Amino acid sequence: MTNLLADNRPVIGDTRPSATSLGTREHVNPATGKAQAIVSIGGPAEIDAAARAAVAGQKAWQDLGPERRRDCLLRLADLIEADAPQLLQMAALECGTPLSSNSSGLALSWIRYYAGWADKIEGTCSEPLGIHGLAYARHEPIGVIGVIIPWNSPLVAISMTAILAMAAGNAVILKPPTQTPFVALRFGALALEAGIPAGVLNIVPGDAEAGEALIAHPAVGKISFTGGDAVAKAVMRTAAEHLKPVALELGGKSANLIFADADLDKAAAMAAGCSLVPLAGQGCVLPTRVYAQSAIFDEFVERVRAHAQTFTLGDPLDMATVIGPVINEAAAQRIMGVIDRAKAESGGRLVTGGRRGQGDLAAGSFVEPTVFAGVAHDSHLAREEVFGPVLSIIRFDTDDDAVAMANDSRFGLGAYLHTHDLSRAHNVAARLESGCVAVNGMLPMAPNQPFGGVKQSGFGREGGRPGLEEFMQIKQILLHLHPR
């Protein structure tokens, strides 16, 4: 057992209970396949305790005032920055994220950006129609927010959800999955160390039972869920029973259109590096569905292959590693099933990869970076989210063909296009059915830009003022004034 993952206690108010109602289970290192820690599993009892702590914590948080809330969040960012080496090692151990990826910079940018919003929340003032008076609107916190995050990047996920809710003046009950609880628990401990009042950020690792209790709890005013569309439907059903609003950031099958006039070196590097490398392909907005124009198709495929074959698969604690393992053995087997099906389907050909990790990596949940070319647009590989290091490249002829195929998907989170034609860039971007579009590069996930999807990729936004407004409610106040 590793000391870095020794503290498995939930954070509930200012307490760290040593035992939980649903017991414990072993945590398996995805890189080795061996048990390395013990996870404490929270359930309805822990959620209820966290809700009571959150109600009290939210009042204390509100009483601090905006300037002190801002300063607390800035102190939290400083503590996370100082603790980043440990947090990155914890992420490498619990979810296989290579140290070389260093996600702390992105997380810190979100925390500091939203700390800056904490003292800048303003309402509006107007003269009401039909009466002599004054009307103004207050943007107020909802109260307690339930946040359910996925396992693929806990540090970034917390910074893109819970921090926004806290900057708006809310308290949070965060439920990380039992696959990756340890970074979240450390985050909660650092929040207390930063002077954030007890109960403002509660961390309860758990499974579906804890999630259902969190959604249904009467003290929780809104749910923020990040994950897959199947679970999202269950979240919405439970929330609907309690007339509770939800914000959903779900999966994607992001199209990446490569036009003949694109810079092929940059486009190929982006297509390979941004679909196969980050989180071993386990990211919702990665450009895993590439459409390349016929005139440059073969040349583009060759350049992607050359890039993909340079990516080092290995131990996430080794700084030379580019791609780590996927989250667990079940995920590796599922991804290999997708690869085997793609090999059997007509039309596509395997360009590189297609195997499990070899040699010393065989015991872990490693999958080689895999590229298929000439894939049929209506194939399973091209239409379904793989959530692994697998890239499909599809041929297109005209701009209209590319847009039609890109939009022929139930998903709509991210989209990408590569061209030197400015008119085409604007026209195609406007036609793509997606919450976010990037031209000639990757979406940077900048905290001042609204991020979110359309169609079955969810609704609600993270980033910028819209991200803050997800966790506020508007109160109208009307003063009747008597004329002199």
Q: Which residues are catalytic?
A: 249
Other Cβ atoms closer than 10 A to 13: 19
The dihedral through the CA atoms of 394, 290, 457, 155 has a sign that is positive
Both tokens assigned to 254: 């992001």
Pairing assessment for the beta strands 35-40 and 24-28 based on DSSP bridges:
antiparallel
Distances, alpha carbon 404 to alpha carbons 202, 398, 400, 401, 429, in Å = 45, 10, 6, 5, 12
* Secondary structure percentages of the chain, helix, strand, coil, to 5: 40, 20, 40
292 and 372 in contact (C-beta within 8 Å)? no
Nearest to 43 by CA among 171, 178, 183: 178
Give the H or E element holding residue 138. Answer: strand 133-141
Other Cβ atoms closer than 10 A to 186: 22
CA angle 279, 280, 283 (to 5 degrees): 50
- In one letter, which amino acid is 462? E
What one-character-per-residue DSSP string does 192-208 give?
HHTTPPTTSEEE--B-H
Residue length of the chain: 484
C-alpha to C-alpha distance for 371 and 360, rounded to whole angstroms: 23
270 and 443 in contact (C-beta within 8 Å)? no
